[in-house]
Structure 1
Amino acid sequence: MSDTKDAIVSPASVGDVEVASSYPVEKSISGNGDVAAAYANQLSGENAYTTKEWTRLRWKLDLRLVPLLWFNVTLGAMDKVTTATAALYGFRADTDLTGDRYSWVGSAFYFGYLAWCLPSGSLLQKFPIAKLMFVVQILWGLILIGTGFANNFPTLIALRVLLGALEAPIVPGNFLVLGMWYTRREQPLRTGLMYTGLSVCFTGPIGWGIGFMVGEHQWRSMFWITGGMTIVWACVIGLFLPDNPVKAKFINDRQKAIVIDRLRADQTGVENKTFKKEQMIETFLDPKTWLMFFFHIWISIPNGGLTNFAPLIIKGLGYSSQRSTLLTMPTGIIQTISSYLCNGGVFLCAKYLPQRQLRTAWVLFGIIVGMISSVFLYTLPLNNYNGRLAALYMSYFYLGPYIVSLGINTANTAGHTKKVTTNALIFIAYCVSNIIAPQFFKTHQAPLYPLGMGAILGSYVLAMITIGLYATYCWNENRKRDAVDSAKGNRVHHDTDFRDLTDKENIHFRYVF
């Protein structure tokens, strides 16, 4: 990174909100272009900024955005597995969850998520992202509180479906926000910081604390406490999360222009509220969409099984309900280590080895660790308590590969309609996987759950194969584009910047893998 920015042609004054007249695609931008177009040509010549200025601004963005996005993800992870902690305190008996009904309660959340993935993608494009998050988090907090009053299986299924539908916009919305503020090189580190397993640091102590209560209010309090936390957090999001860089009030116009200028080399744009049918069709016809879709089905199988059954597996090793809630906490630590290690590795490789494509290598590393752990979990005898507990913890290493793959998907998709459609499909895969996974954990196989452990092992193998095919496809596409794009080395491409083109339409676009 140099001390000063490269000069950008067609300069305009910092306060000017119109695109410079020499910009060759002005008409396209004014109609269906990106919201950032008005800030695209303001920083050349005497208005150029330095690396030091950008570094100060980036710290300002990190301190505002990363904590908000982190707790968005953490809160959702905490709220959807409240049933796992409640199951330790009589939840199943009080609500008549006999047979495999508990598994279906775990899956029901993802039926709602699945049904609302595509509609939520449309809502994320149509409405301001932060305001939409505020509304849905208020509603899902109320649903959680209502779950604490449930007494039967049908009521629980209905509430869990609604909860899943309301959480559907959150993670895709988070990734859209990341893409609006950070370059593809900067996103992996922020993604790793945003996506951790630290929700157990809340569910563990809360679950341990309610163990001192008596009666059926033990498990009901789990839902009331988490629901109240969600409503409070919704108000924080409504006050402090900006909808996009152009509308942000915590930075000035020059800082907005710097953020936009940093993004232009990626050719991914910031935001466009016009729905484009042709971009949606392209999404469905793009091979890499379906490779990533199936990868997310495989990599999420461990998540769907372990998050619902880990407390019961641990309790089956002979621990009390209260101690089991605390012993689930290391699972979140392992998830966080996996996230930081894999995403940190991607970040360092992008910084020090910018000419090498190594994101897939970190995905494979995390998958291999999880796969080895699942082999031990599948084969160790039941009386090997310490060995099985350690293997269970390390099986949570899937989170790092999952998060890196989300970052790859975001970085490799351009065109706002294509972004939201692709995100929706990826989270449909996530839902399908999490609906399927609990069904491999049969009640009569507790606490070993050999079928479930075998499914986790198989999913890791399939994930390795699929991500390898994805990387091969991206490598081949880049090779073909290099052969025909004479302007590939230029940083600024006025023929494509902020025109809301897709990665397929833009010859200057290069895939990361």
Structure 2
Amino acid sequence: MGISTEDEKPTAGALAVEDERIDTPPAIASEGIDKGDLDRAFVYLSRQNQSQLDNNVDLKALRRKIDWRIIPVMTACYGLQFLDKVLINYSGVMGIREELHLVENDFSNASSVFYISYLIAMVPNGYILQKVTVTKWLCILAILWGIATTCTAATFNYHSLLVTRIFAGLFESPVSPCLMLISSQWYTSQEQASRYSFWFCGVGMAQISGAFISYGFQQVHSTTSLSSWRIMYLVLGLTTSLVGVIGLLILPKSPMTAKFLTDSEKVALLNHIAVNQTGIENRHFKWRQLKEAVLDIQIWLLVAISISTTCSSGVISSYSSIVIASLGYSPPKAALLNAPSGLVTISNSLVAGFGVRYSSNRWAWIATFCIPGMIGGALMSFAPSSKPVAIIIGTHLVHAIIPTLMLTFQWAMSNCVGQTKRVVASAFVAAGYAIGSIIGPQTFQDRDKPEYKPAKIAILATQGGGAFFAVILFAYYYWANRRKDRVEAALKLSSATGGGRQEWGSKTDKENLSFRYVY
């Protein structure tokens, strides 16, 4: 794979310059359309003389070409983001609590404060993400949160740990929305699910590598004056920043400015993903779409799914090593026993992604993956401590619910149309993830140790809630589609009404009568 510091071709014209205004093509201007409603993909296509381009582009080969260019960096970013924020899980059995004198609920607070800052940062992110180049913003954030992770190695008490966790949360907050938006720029709604599963596999890889990294670093404490957990934060933080720099060199700014694609391939790709009717890039923030997003029941149901399914995964991300260690295992063994969770995450992510790719029914897949999670929660909650293997299996099964977050992300990007509404929806759903991750660790109260029974029961209950909200959202989408069918029939409108502007997201999902929700 070649590395280039330049994303644009000369033929891209004004689009090659990020801050340069895009002139409205004469053919469009004559229609009297507000330039703010024009997606940049629509503008790019209107300038191309498609009769002079190659019309025989192999879409399968083109998808593979795009996959190899962007998916590895996205997977690395998401995996490192997950690993960096759950290092506190591994460090919990490596001496951080004793060395920083963490008492009572200090450890839970250090885990939760990350997500509190993560949640607060979502407020401006809903606006910022429409004003920046998403791929470059993602890589800059990776550099910054890598620095914050590295600084954790220098913490000396509870309050200094909180500071590094707060900054890490601020910088990692836009990562999931960035990856959602990038995926929607390059793939159709049907293709997105399997691509989401690829970069979500980064979580499983991080779980496996994190277990072995924790084990490895626990072996070096006797040969250096620097604590093993400090070395771990130092190495992984610097690695994250390095990946951010590499991403800046590799990831293109958009399909219209990607140097690794020919003009024919760009046009073929844009025409292919036009079926999404979601648009690709539009820097005009539309306040009416923000209002619609805030009042849209589908977004709040997506947030409810995100909160419910993340409560349990948030708990396990921060406390699985401690739960296993409480069963009598040594810290190194507790770290290694976390590794199988990564295999559960990877296998379930791939099954979920390709299951949706070929059969749709996102609601059913979400409900299905809540079942093993609930079984895992039940084993953690009710298996006696004399059966440690059952409890450990339960902690691994809980990770089966992680792909439900992936499907929720993809569901939101497929059904929330209009650039501003889509960006806001991505921020809202990611905020739901933060809320669940705040609630989860707080169920682990110091007074409940060593069994933490209330927390384990909370895991069981919230996963059932995720399945319930998925079924409700399915029912809502089914009703909304039938309603659109009746309105369209009554008005005798053609599904082609609106032409290119409709395909490129000048209208929201509610305004566009030809748009149908996927479920």
Superposition TM-score, scaled by structure 1 size? 0.91
Render the CA deviation track for 1:419-475: whole Å, top value 9, x for unaligned.
111111112111111111111112343342211111011101211221111111111
> 1:491 Cα shift?
10
**From 350, 355, 359, the counterpart of 2:362:** 359
> 1:15 Cα shift?
8.8
Q: In 2, Cα distance between the equivalents of 1:227 and 1:487? A: 55
**From 312, 329, 335, the counterpart of 2:322:** 312
Aligned to 1:172: 177
**From 41, 57, 60, the counterpart of 1:36:** 41
Do 1:43 and 1:49's aligned partners in 2 also have CA atoms closer than 8 Å?
A: no
Q: In 1, Cα distance between the equivalents of 2:283 and 2:344? A: 39
**From 103, 107, 116, the counterpart of 1:98:** 103
* Residues 1:258 and 2:250 are matched in the alignment: no
List runs of 5+ in structure 1 lacking aligned partners: 1-13, 351-357
Aligned to 1:373: 376
* Residues 1:326 and 2:336 are matched in the alignment: yes
- Secondary structure of the residue aligned to 1:275 is coil
Q: In 1, Cα distance between the equivalents of 2:239 and 2:497? A: 45
* Residues 1:70 and 2:80 are matched in the alignment: no
> 1:492 Cα shift?
8.7
Aligned to 2:6: none
* Residues 1:461 and 2:468 are matched in the alignment: no
Do 1:136 and 1:166's aligned partners in 2 also have CA atoms closer than 8 Å?
A: yes
After superposition, the Cα gap between the structure-2 partners of 1:310 and 1:300, relative to the gap in structure 1 and judged at 3 Å, is same
* Residues 1:280 and 2:290 are matched in the alignment: yes
> 1:488 Cα shift?
6.0
Do 1:131 and 1:243's aligned partners in 2 also have CA atoms closer than 8 Å?
A: yes
> 1:184 Cα shift?
0.4
- Secondary structure of the residue aligned to 1:294 is helix
- Secondary structure of the residue aligned to 1:110 is helix
Note the 1:111-260 alignment, pairs <5 A: 111-196=116-201, 197-214=204-221, 217-260=227-270
* Residues 1:422 and 2:425 are matched in the alignment: yes
Q: In 1, Cα distance between the equivalents of 2:30 and 2:277? A: 14
Aligned to 1:508: 514
Aligned to 1:6: none
**Number of equivalent positions:** 492
After superposition, the Cα gap between the structure-2 partners of 1:239 and 1:47, relative to the gap in structure 1 and judged at 3 Å, is closer
> 1:317 Cα shift?
1.7
Do 1:29 and 1:498's aligned partners in 2 also have CA atoms closer than 8 Å?
A: no
Bigger Cα displacement from structure 2, 116-125 vs 142-151? 116-125
The one-letter code of the counterpart of 1:432 is: I
Do 1:474 and 1:511's aligned partners in 2 also have CA atoms closer than 8 Å?
A: yes
Aligned to 2:412: 409
Render the CA deviation track for 1:122-144: whole Å, top value 9, x for unaligned.
22211111222232222211111
Render the CA deviation track for 1:210-251: whole Å, top value 9, x for unaligned.
111125511111110111101111111110111211121111
Q: In 1, Cα distance between the equivalents of 2:324 and 2:493? A: 58
Bigger Cα displacement from structure 2, 14-23 vs 484-493? 14-23
The one-letter code of the counterpart of 1:312 is: I
Q: In 2, Cα distance between the equivalents of 1:111 and 1:200? A: 23
> 1:105 Cα shift?
0.5
After superposition, the Cα gap between the structure-2 partners of 1:318 and 1:293, relative to the gap in structure 1 and judged at 3 Å, is same
Render the CA deviation track for 1:368-399: whole Å, top value 9, x for unaligned.
12112211221111111222111211111111
After superposition, the Cα gap between the structure-2 partners of 1:220 and 1:499, relative to the gap in structure 1 and judged at 3 Å, is closer
The one-letter code of the counterpart of 1:497 is: E
Aligned to 1:338: 348
* Residues 1:55 and 2:60 are matched in the alignment: yes
Do 2:143 and 2:240's aligned partners in 1 also have CA atoms closer than 8 Å?
A: yes
Bigger Cα displacement from structure 2, 220-229 vs 459-468? 459-468
List runs of 5+ in structure 2 lacking aligned partners: 1-10, 15-22
Aligned to 2:20: none
Aligned to 2:7: none
The one-letter code of the counterpart of 1:280 is: L
The one-letter code of the counterpart of 1:271 is: E
Q: In 2, Cα distance between the equivalents of 1:82 and 1:238? A: 25
* Residues 1:435 and 2:438 are matched in the alignment: yes
Do 1:43 and 1:257's aligned partners in 2 also have CA atoms closer than 8 Å?
A: no
> 1:321 Cα shift?
1.1
Q: In 2, Cα distance between the equivalents of 1:40 and 1:278? A: 27
Do 1:113 and 1:165's aligned partners in 2 also have CA atoms closer than 8 Å?
A: yes
Q: In 2, Cα distance between the equivalents of 1:34 and 1:61? A: 21
Bigger Cα displacement from structure 2, 134-143 vs 267-276? 134-143
Q: In 1, Cα distance between the equivalents of 2:153 and 2:280? A: 40
CA RMSD of aligned residues (A): 2.2
- Secondary structure of the residue aligned to 2:101 is coil
The one-letter code of the counterpart of 2:513 is: I
Identity of aligned residues (%): 27
**From 86, 92, 101, the counterpart of 1:87:** 92
**From 113, 129, 154, the counterpart of 1:108:** 113
The one-letter code of the counterpart of 1:370 is: G
Superposition TM-score, scaled by structure 2 size? 0.90
> 1:266 Cα shift?
1.6
> 1:61 Cα shift?
0.3
